[in-house]
Every structure is written in structure tokens, then in C-alpha cells.
């Protein structure tokens, strides 16, 4: 199997658009390609899926340990002709100092060669020392060459290629400035309202354009498989997705778990859903926007992130679903919410100055700030036993939101604040999250791969609720 990373010298150089176009071109050739995204981002992976018809998985070397990454990559790429990995930010940009969490670190761990995209606006001969620096900065990272993006015209292209040839740097193609490669964005990233970014012929046109612009045969030739040998296989077992069901203290349980999935809620790590399935959950999609009631015989609800603020008016007017979620919570049903899920479970969402009532499990009001409020990785420890595990359980995740909690009614004792505390060195043990009965929600998007026991604990909590209420779950 072949594999390649599409990286860049910095954010905004065109990684996502060229990755999408390349996915479309490879699919047109009849190749079965598994897409990946380095880092915690959800949105780019959604676009990968649209273009390739294959789910995209996140490869994050801060949230996930090295052994898990290797096994996860091997399992999810098995049976594919190629793995195409889109990088994050610039090649060596990571969590902070050093390369931890960077595209470069993924290249080292998985042994994947890199093709570097450079936005060539306002640059000519300087392309050579720029790329040369990336190629020689760290000998463990194999930078095979460069794709030139945002070329103004033939003469500009000629200057760039001449500079690369004189420096002995391989070049895999050049992409001229093209409106076809422009995509609408909104806060959090590319607009996931697909109809705004794709028309009927756009994917086909992207494939045709990239076939004319890039030397795909040369890219396939350099895309090599160099998996690092893992010596101690016993250490891999707790992180192997295929045997995660063995983590259970007893036999594998089975239950129905409702996944909120529509225009307002669609941010989920595919690995999280896989882990829940392998732990025994039957995942059933539902729409808080459009459905009037929850699916039947549920053990729990998973409310992921997304854009509930954009659809706040419609969510607020869907009283049937709000009542159903509220009744499920009061009955002791398991509900786990992340970011957008937390916002939906609160008292209201304030967007563009208008207040929209929500489920009201937690007496908090959430306001959209109009600017980024928080961005960063978090390592959390459970303060008490809950639906995700026992007190002391550690799990990693990521926060990225443009909203903030402006009213926090601590006088209401039916629910409590602080299900986690952060153990990040720079976070000073901040309290995170809210809980009520079997409802838990926070701004943090957890990656269950950082501690697969958490997925099994969540499924087991759902099963126990079903058992207590004498439902079949089937």
C-alpha cells in the first residue's frame, strides 16, 4: 500500500483544497484511497468524505500515543490502495515547543514521506532556500519535494521551477490561481453546509484540473510504505481497536446509542464511533433539528459538536425534541455532550443578540462571542465516578469554540459544575464540565483513543440504564 502526506510551510497554503482535488483524481483512476487528517480538526475530514466516499480519520500524536497511532493507522488503511494524509498548519507546527502533535511527528511515527505545498504568491527565486530548509531541518522527516500553489501565470511558474531545479529539489506540479479551489468559510473553518461549497460538477472539475496540474504518476511513485517496527507487541493490546471489547470487566454488552447528526451537530471523531461500536453500541442517528422524538429503546444519547448557534432558532422551536431529551435526562438516561452538545443542553444560546431557549438541563446561558474564545489541547482527570469511568480516569481532548458561558446559576443544586479538572501544566487545574444524574457535558471534544476504556464505560453505562428500566435495547 502506498502512503503520502500533503503538508505545507504554513496554514492557508492550500492543503485542504489540493488534498480534496487529489482524492477526486485518484478516485477517478479507480484507486481506493483512505483519507486522514493530522491533528484534532473535524471539518477537513468531512470534506475528505464528500470527495472520496471514504471516512477520514484523525491522526493526532498528542491526544494519542505512538503505539495506538501505529495500530490505528494499520487497521484503518488495511485493504486500501493508498493512504492520503492531510497535514495540519505548517509541517513542523505542533502543540507548542518542539514537534509534538505536528505533521512532522506523524511522518516520523508512521514512516510516511511528505510532499510540501507552498503558496507561491509574492515569491519566486526564494522558493528554493525555503523548501531546502524544510527538507533538511530534520533528517527523520522525508520531504520528497514540492507542489507549487497559487501560481500567477506561465512566467511565474518558469521562475519557480528554474530555482527548484538549480537547487536539485523535486517538483510534482504547479496549480494556477483558480476560483474552483475557493471554498466558503465561517467560524471554526470551512462551511460544512455542503450545498454552499459544492455544485454538481465541482468535484469532477477539481479532479480534471489537478490531473493537468500535477504529475500524479510521480506522486504515486514516491508514496512509499515504511512502517516502523514495534518491538513489544503486548504493549499494543490495550489500544487495539479490534480487541477493545475485551476491556470490559464482564461480557460485551449491547445497547442502542443515539447520535445527534444533522446540520447543527456533526463533529465526531470517526475513531470514537468505531470504539463505541466495538464496545457493543448500536449507533442510531437522529436529528435534534428535524425529528420530533428520540429513537426507541435508547440506552444513551451522544450530542457532538457543530453549529447549534447557526440553527438555534429552529432548535428552539422543535419543542417535541427538547421535551424528549429533557424527559430522558430526568428519567436517568445517559447523555454525553461535547461543545455544541453542551450548548444545546444549557438554558439558552444567544446568537446575534437574540436569545433562544434550549433543553435547560444546566442553568447556563451561552453567548457567541464573534471571535475565538478558546483553542487548545486539554488533558483531563475525572473528579468522581461517572458515565465515562471511575474517579481518577485520565483522557485527552481538544477545545475550539467561539462561545462562552455568561450566566452560571450556582444556586441551582440539581446539577453540579466540575466533572473534570485539567492536569495540563499551564491550566492550573481548571474545573471543566457539568453533570446531572447521568448527563455529562463540557466544551471538550474527547478522543476516546487516548483511553479506550472510556468508550466501553460509556456503553456499559447505557446498558445499565436499559437494564434498570427493563428495555431490550435491541
Report, as residue numbers or ranges, the catalytic residues: 339
Which residues, 6+ apart, have CB-to-CB distance to 224 below 8 Å?
Answer: 2, 3, 113
Question: What's the rounded Cα separation, in Å, for the pair 2 and 19?
Answer: 15
Which residues, 6+ apart, have CB-to-CB distance to 337 below 8 Å?
Answer: 302, 303, 344, 345, 439, 440, 441, 442
Question: Dihedral (C-alpha) 40, 46, 51, 56: value to the nearest 10 degrees?
Answer: 50
Number of helices (H), then strands (E), belonging to the chain: the values are 14, 25
Question: What's the rounded Cα separation, in Å, for the pair 88 and 94?
Answer: 8
β-strands 439-442, 334-338 pairing: parallel
What cell was used for 210?
Answer: 489537478
Per the CB < 8 A criterion, the answer to whether 436 and 360 are in contact is no
Q: How far is CA 44 from the centre of its chain?
A: 8
Phi, psi of 60 (to 5 degrees): -125, 115
Nearest 5°: the CA angle 180, 270, 346 is: 95
Burial of 252 by CB count in 10 Å (0-12 exposed, 13-18 middle, 19+ buried)? middle
Amino acid at each position: 500500500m502506498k502512503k503520502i502526506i500533503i503538508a505545507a510551510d504554513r496554514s492557508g497554503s492550500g492543503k485542504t483544497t489540493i488534498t480534496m482535488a487529489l482524492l477526486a483524481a485518484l478516485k477517478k483512476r479507480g484507486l481506493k484511497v483512505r483519507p486522514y487528517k493530522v491533528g484534532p480538526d473535524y471539518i477537513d475530514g468531512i470534506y475528505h468524505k464528500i470527495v472520496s466516499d471514504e471516512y477520514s480519520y484523525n491522526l493526532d500524536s498528542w491526544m494519542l500515543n505512538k503505539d495506538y497511532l501505529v495500530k490505528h493507522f494499520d487497521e484503518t488503511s488495511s485493504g486500501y490502495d493508498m493512504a492520503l494524509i492531510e497535514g495540519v498548519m505548517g509541517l513542523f507546527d505542533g502543540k507548542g515547543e518542539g514537534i509534538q502533535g505536528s505533521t512532522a511527528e506523524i511522518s516520523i511515527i508512521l514512516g510516511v514521506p511528505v510532499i510540501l505545498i507552498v503558496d507561491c504568491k509574492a515569491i519566486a527565486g526564494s522558493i528554493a532556500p525555503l523548501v531546502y530548509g524544510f527538507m533538511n531541518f530534520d533528517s527523520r522527516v522525508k520531504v520528497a519535494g514540492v507542489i507549487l500553489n497559487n501560481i500567477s501565470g506561465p512566467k511565474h511558474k518558469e521562475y519557480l521551477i528554474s530555482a527548484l531545479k538549480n537547487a536539485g529539489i523535486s517538483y510534482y506540479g504547479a496549480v494556477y490561481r483558480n476560483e474552483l479551489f475557493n471554498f466558503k468559510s465561517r467560524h471554526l473553518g470551512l462551511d460544512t453546509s455542503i450545498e454552499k461549497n459544492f455544485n454538481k460538477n465541482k468535484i469532477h472539475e477539481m479532479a480534471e484540473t489537478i490531473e493537468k496540474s500535477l504529475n500524479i504518476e510521480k506522486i504515486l511513485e514516491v508514496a512509499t510504505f515504511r512502517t516502523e517496527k514495534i518491538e513489544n507487541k503486548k504493549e499494543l493490546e490495550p489500544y487495539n481497536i479490534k480487541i477493545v471489547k475485551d476491556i470490559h470487566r464482564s461480557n460485551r454488552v449491547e445497547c442502542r446509542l443515539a447520535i445527534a447528526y444533522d446540520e447543527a451537530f456533526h463533529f465526531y471523531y470517526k475513531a470514537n464511533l468505531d470504539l463505541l461500536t466495538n464496545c457493543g453500541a448500536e449507533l442510531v442517528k437522529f436529528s435534534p433539528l428535524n425529528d420530533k422524538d428520540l429513537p426507541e429503546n435508547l440506552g444513551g444519547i451522544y450530542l457532538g459538536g457543530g453549529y447549534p448557534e447557526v440553527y438555534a432558532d429552529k432548535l428552539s422551536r422543535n419543542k417535541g425534541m427538547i421535551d424528549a431529551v429533557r424527559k430522558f435526562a430526568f428519567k436517568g438516561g445517559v447523555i454525553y455532550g461535547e461543545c455544541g452538545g453542551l450548548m444545546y443542553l444549557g438554558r439558552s444560546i444567544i446568537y446575534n443578540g437574540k436569545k433562544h431557549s434550549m433543553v435547560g438541563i444546566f442553568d447556563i446561558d451561552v453567548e457567541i462571542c464573534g471571535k475565538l474564545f478558546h483553542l487548545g489541547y486539554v488533558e483531563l482527570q475525572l473528579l468522581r465516578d461517572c458515565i465515562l469511568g471511575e474517579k481518577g480516569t485520565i483522557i485527552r481532548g481538544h477545545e475550539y469554540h467561539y462561545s462562552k458561558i455568561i450566566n452560571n446559576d450556582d444556586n441551582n443544586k440539581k446539577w453540579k459544575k466540575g466533572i473534570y479538572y485539567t492536569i495540563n501544566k499551564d491550566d492550573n487545574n481548571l474545573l471543566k464540565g457539568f453533570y446531572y444524574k447521568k448527563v455529562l457535558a463540557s466544551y471538550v471534544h474527547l478522543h476516546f483513543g487516548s483511553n479506550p476504556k472510556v468508550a466501553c464505560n460509556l456503553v456499559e453505562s447505557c446498558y445499565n440504564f436499559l437494564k434498570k428500566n427493563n428495555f431490550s435495547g435491541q
